[in-house]
Amino acid sequence: MTRIDDVARLAGVSTATVSRALRGLPTVSAATRRRVLAAAEQLQYAVSPSASRLAGGRTGTVAVVVPRITRWFFGTVVEAVEELLQDSGYDLLLYNLGGRERTRRRVLRTASLHKRVDAIILVATPLRAADVQALTKLDLPGVTISSGSEVPGWPCVRIDDVAAARTATRHLLDLGHTRIAHISGDPDDELAFTTHLDRRRGYQEALRAAGLRPDPSLDVESQFTIDGGTRATAELLARGEPPTAIFAACDEMAMGAITALRDAGLRVPDDVSVMGVDDHDLAGVLGLSTIAQPAAEQGLLAARILLDPLGVRATEPYPGLVPAPRGADTGDGTPLPVILPTRLVVRESTAPPRAH
């Protein structure tokens, strides 16, 4: 069987150069690449991915860490990241923390990632000081997706959660609602970290801009799940007069809100309007008004940013994908976050409040 050493000997280059040339990396001159390809063709050499990677001192693998893979946002991001990595010759090693503290410590604070991956993508993964310190010591390229999981020196791709919540609340205000409830994230939920704080802030800013004072009795915390939204809405209804509109911090919570309202005999949107954030795959089916965030695009852009320091030119599967800004940072060497736009999607779940 022909080995990579045979190709290297015939081409007069090192095995590392053969590996780089056959993977199409830009660090090989055109003349050398032609010589390597000719030698490989002459010897009928079939590329072994593992041998090629090891010859270049790389694993050919990128770690992607998510809190819970079963949630829509995380699954959508991971699918997009994997698509771009595979197109670029890289494998994805998924770490699903699943809410298990022991798993997060093993993944983020031990040698689990050392020499197993070439780079890391953290998807909305809340970090403690010990996590950041351990990740920094690995000295690997990394990118974070969503706010609240920043690592010094790593780029971050996200949306503006405050602005998204302001737009959602303003939509309800423009319809004529003034008694608007908010279902926010539970601070004890590992998924909540800063996203729920930012979206609550946007909700409150929109109310104040309209001359309304936020009412604590209309603000309920729960998990970012359908069940969490159902329980939070049931609690809202148990407090007395129901709101005329509910802004949920994510679409899954909004779906739970719709379920609870219907179980209580209330009609959406005739009695209560419901608004979410995400544009979940089921949002259109349920007629849910929402703030659409580009989940797949965040994953694609993060992967493309990550491949750059690895010397790989990523493909462009989505024309018009926003490029990462270069040369700008926060002052400590950390690039400024890349903030992708959101958009208001109005469907059947929101309408003007019913006249009494």
CA–centroid distance for 208 within its chain: 30
Inform me whether the pLDDT recorded for 147 exceeds 80.
no
Q: What is the pLDDT of residue 303?
A: 93
Q: How far apart are CA 193 and CA 226, in angstroms?
A: 18
Q: How far apart are CA 172 and CA 248, in angstroms?
A: 12
Closest residue by Cα to residue 178 from 219, 200, 207:
207
Inform me whether the pLDDT recorded for 264 exceeds 90.
yes
Q: What is the pLDDT of residue 317?
A: 45
Higher pLDDT, 313 or 164: 164
Q: What is the pLDDT of residues 343-354, one digit of tens each?
A: 999 999 999 998
Q: What is the pLDDT of residue 54?
A: 47
Q: What is the pLDDT of residues 170-182, one digit of tens each?
A: 999 999 999 999 9
pTM recorded for the entire structure = 0.80
Q: If pLDDT is split at 50, 70 and 90, which confidence band does 329 have?
A: low
Inform me whether the pLDDT recorded for 49 exceeds 70.
no
Inform me whether the pLDDT recorded for 125 exceeds 50.
yes
Q: What is the pLDDT of residue 327?
A: 47
Find the range with the poorest average confidence among 69-73, 114-118, 236-240, 299-303.
Answer: 114-118
26-30, 296-300, 315-319, 331-335 — most confident range: 296-300
Q: What is the pLDDT of residue 320?
A: 43
For residue 310, count other CB atoms closer than 10 A to its CB: 17
Residues whose CB falls within 8 Å of the CB of residue 318, separated by 6 or more in sequence, listed in order = 296, 297, 300
Q: What is the pLDDT of residue 319?
A: 41
Higher pLDDT, 293 or 90: 293
Q: What is the pLDDT of residue 103?
A: 81
For residue 155, count other CB atoms closer than 10 A to its CB: 25
DSSP string over 216-281 = GGGEEEE-SSHHHHHHHHHHHHHTSSPPSEEEESSHHHHHHHHHHHHHTT--TTTT-EEEEEE--T
